[in-house]
Amino acid sequence: MGAIQAQDLNMAKLALALRSKESVSGISKSLQNQEIIRAHILRPTWHFIAREDYLKMNRLSAPYVKKIIIPQLKNLGVTFETLLNVGPLLAKFFQTHPVCAREDISALFGANSIPSTSIATGMILMYYELEQMVIQDYTTSLTNAYSLLSIDTNNDNDSELDSAVWLAKKYFTSHGPATIQDFKWWSGLPAGLCTQVEKSLAGQFNEIEYNGRKYYFNGDLPVDTTHQAILLPAYDEMLISYTNRSHALADEHLRKVVTSNGIFRPVVLQDNKVKAIWKKDKKHFNYEKIETDFNDQELKQVEEYTFKKLS
């Protein structure tokens, strides 16, 4: 699985459902059971991570994510000293509130003269996710709830390079063919470490050179002979996890699909190309055509399959 971007919670559930035997409700149950964790790692943004992979992935990416968010917290009035004082405050609060809404945590911060805007609260909680203290919680009906992380810490003594190689193997197995530049973008790891990763992976994956870059993949080179249409959710890995998306999305249509502030819209793939943007109401899919050869008459079976996953 690696990590699946989960900025849009419902779309991320659909992305997993479309790639598995589960429905969206089944993915929701996995979140409730904490078989899947939703947390900030990698670039950083929200991701789905398998429970058994979470701690190792967190340890690897946390130092780099902290370098990004600590200056942002300072700009929000949260000094590093204040940030360190939040830990004991949260630990005491969770003793009497095992699962609590983010609004309650924000009120706690405000009562203790800690910046408590929605952005500040969210970023402080992100920091303590990276500290392996708190986690977003789906075990109750509370919306946007948190609890203390209850995953047993493992005795992971791997070096940073070994952990990065482990992550790269997951990436190239699940996302290949892809380049080391794609892995650097997806993982948020520094260029020097990614260069070492590429050297360590020598001979472990098949590779092909295209336009001067090496693409790594596991098994045979995938060839799609069916040309089946696909309804891709927003922020889908098929588009978001690569530095170059021109294989599927024409440059002239990029801003229709990926907005200037980084929002990825749900799209229709036909013949392995983005042909339209889709929206769904309770009973119907609606399409905004991008390419002139888009044919929505071919989508009935795909719509039925997607509705089944959503049900």
DSSP letters, 80-129, are HHHHHHHHHHHHHHHHH-SSEEHHHHHHHHHHTT---SHHHHHHHHHHHH
* Closest to 86 in 3D by CA, of 101, 67, 73, 71: 73
pLDDT of residue 293: 84
Show me where the domains of the chain are located: 34-148, 160-217, 230-310
Cα distance between residue 28 and residue 50, in whole Å = 13
Predicted TM-score of the model (pTM)? 0.91
Question: Which phi-psi region, left, alpha or beta, contains residue 68 (left: φ > 0; alpha: ψ -120 to 50)?
Answer: alpha
Domain 160-217 sits in CATH at 1.10.10
Map residue 149 onto helix, strand or coil. coil
pLDDT of residue 264: 93
User: By the 8 A CB rule, do 114 and 82 touch?
Assistant: yes
State the residue for tokens 């008459």. 297
- CA torsion, points 222, 227, 232, 237, in degrees to nearest 10? 10
Cα distance between residue 262 and residue 50, in whole Å = 25
pLDDT of residue 35: 95
State the residue for tokens 């790269």. 168
User: By the 8 A CB rule, do 49 and 36 touch?
Assistant: yes
pLDDT of residue 227: 59
- Per-residue pLDDT of the chain in tens (311 residues, 90 and over written 9): 789 999 999 999 999 999 889 999 999 999 999 999 999 999 889 999 999 999 999 999 999 999 999 999 999 999 999 999 999 999 999 999 999 999 999 999 999 999 999 999 999 999 999 999 999 999 999 989 999 999 876 667 899 999 999 999 999 999 999 999 999 999 999 999 999 999 999 999 999 998 899 999 988 766 655 557 889 999 999 999 999 888 889 889 999 999 888 899 999 988 888 999 999 888 888 999 998 888 787 788 888 888 888 87
Number of H helices, E strands in the chain: 12, 12
pLDDT of residue 256: 92
Note if the bond before 177 is cis, omega within 30 degrees: yes
* Closest to 183 in 3D by CA, of 158, 175, 65, 213: 175
Residue 155 backbone dihedrals phi, psi, to 5 degrees: -90, 70
